[in-house]
Amino acid sequence: MTRIFVTVGAQMPFDRLVHAVDAWAYTRGRSADVLAQIGPSVAPPSHVKHVRFLEPAEFDRAYDEADLVVAHAGTGSILAALERGKAIVVMPRRAALRETRNDHQVATAKAFAAIGSVPVAWDETELAEVLDRATISRGEAVVGRYASPRLIGAIKSFVESP
Partner 1 sequence: MILAALRRARSLARGSTRPRRILAISSGGGHWIELLRLRPAFEGHEVVWCTVDATYRTHVGDAPFHTVRDVTRWDRVGLAQCATEVLGVLGRVRPDVVVSTGALPGFFGIVLGKSLGARTVWLDSLANVEELSMSGQRVAPFADLWLTQWASLARTAGPRYEGSVIA
* Residues near partner 1, by CB under 8 A: 9-11, 55-57, 74-77, 79-80, 82, 101, 104-105, 107-108, 110-111, 143-156, 158-160
Q: Which helix (H) or strand (E) holds 18?
A: helix 15-27
Nearest approach, Cβ of residue 33 and partner 1 (Å): 26
Whole-angstrom Cα distance, residue 24 to residue 46?
Answer: 12
Looking at the Cβ atoms of 106 and 128, the one nearer to partner 1 is: 106
Q: 146: which residues sit within 8 A by CB, 6+ positions away? A: 152
Per DSSP, 48 falls in state S
Looking at the Cβ atoms of 16 and 104, the one nearer to partner 1 is: 104
Nearest approach, Cβ of residue 42 and partner 1 (Å): 19
Per DSSP, 120 falls in state B
Residue 72's φ and ψ, nearest 5 degrees, are -70, 165
Residue 51's φ and ψ, nearest 5 degrees, are -135, 150
Looking at the Cβ atoms of 82 and 131, the one nearer to partner 1 is: 82
Looking at the Cβ atoms of 42 and 159, the one nearer to partner 1 is: 159
Nearest approach, Cβ of residue 135 and partner 1 (Å): 21
Nearest approach, Cβ of residue 9 and partner 1 (Å): 5
